[in-house]
Amino acid sequence: MKENFLKERKRIRRQIAPRDGPFICTHCGKEVCATTEGTEHRNHCPSCLWSLHLDRQSGDRAAGCGGAMEPIAVWVRRSGEWAVVHRCRECGVVRVNRIAGDDNQLALISLAARPLAKPPFPLDGVTPGADRS
């Protein structure tokens, strides 16, 4: 029973995110153009930055999972280029995808600022110049 469900979900997700055509984001529902400046293989929604776990390698659409890939961080490469870090909600795999020219700039900044907005320690206990060791 579960096996049939997983096969059907995989078939549907492949229809939603074809290799070269536009697709509907399964997270926010917006239509996404497959080609844009700064990317060869569209792998996330430019509006909400969510993705699907479809690829083993960029553009191959060979992953068997098909789970939702949540944007969890922004990574700045040595070259200064930004990339979005995604984690699959189904299997937990983490992937890094370069940003595209039409990505939502506010969503990218919000993602980058998330660790500052929710630090792992109380800010009222931080004193300037205090040694933490």
Element (H, E) at 71: strand 68-76
DSSP state letter for 125: G
Q: What average pLDDT score do residues 18-24 get?
A: 70
* Residues written for the chain: 133
Q: Distance (Å, rounded) from C-alpha 56 to C-alpha 75?
A: 20
pLDDT reading at 67 higher than 90: no
Q: Distance (Å, rounded) from C-alpha 31 to C-alpha 80?
A: 29
In 3D, which of 6, 3, 108, 4 has the Cα closest to residue 67?
6
pLDDT of amino acid 61: 67
Element (H, E) at 88: strand 82-88
Q: pTM (2 decimals)?
A: 0.72
User: For the segment 100-121, what is each residue's pLDDT rounded down to a tens digit?
Assistant: 889 999 999 999 999 888 888 8
Beta-bridge mates of residue 36:
39
Domain boundaries, the chain: 2-116
- For all residues of the chain together, what is the average pLDDT? 80
